[in-house]
Structure 1
Amino acid sequence: MTVAYEQPGQPQGVMFHSDQGSHYSSRRYQQLLWRYRINPSMSRRGNCWDNAPMERLFRRLKSEWGPEHGYKNVVDARGGISEDLMGY
């Protein structure tokens, strides 16, 4: 996360959604989110339905939207994925 967030053009109002795994709920990780002004969001304990919309989005991204044999390079991947997400 540090490498990604320290790139130029930092977005505002970012939310990070996760389950309640120990690495996401640890003090160190929560401090990292606070440092980058990222709003944490966690699924409720024992409720698998909280994450269903994101799971569906990523399933479609992986299986339905990308080219059959993958992208040629990072630039093509970014463009294709951005286009798919904006259309969603």
Structure 2
Amino acid sequence: MSRRGQCWDNAPTERLFGTLKSEWVPAKGYSEIEEARSDMTNFFMRYNRIRLHSYNDYLSPIAKELQAA
């Protein structure tokens, strides 16, 4: 949750969910909750381990975290 008057705190979360909705979730949604759960798990695994992020010098979040350590 963002602090009062700090709208930029929510920007990374808004970006994540915008990507999820525009690139991953089917236009007609899911027919079953288990299908949605499985697909969301696949999305987050891909997003954190494979997808390159320009903010992270075109590394995945996991790779950038390992580089920082």
Shorter-normalised TM-score: what interval? 0.5 to 0.7
Runs of 4+ in 1 over 2 A off after TM superposition: none
Match of 1:6 in 2: none
State how far apart, in whole Å, the 1-side matches of 2:3 and 2:21 are.
Answer: 26
Number of equivalenced pairs: 47
**2:36 aligned with 1:68:** no
Structure of higher RCO (CA pairs closer than 8 Å, 6+ residues apart): 1
- Identity fraction in percent: 55
Cα distance in 2 between the residues matched to 1:63 and 1:80: 14
Give the CA RMSD over aligned residues: 1.3
TM normalised by structure 1 equals 0.47
More helix by share: 2
Q: Residue in 1 aligned with 2:14? A: 55
TM-score by length of 2: 0.58
Q: Which runs of 5 or more residues in structure 1 are unaligned?
A: 1-17, 19-42
More strand by share: 1
Q: Which has the larger radius of gyration?
A: 1
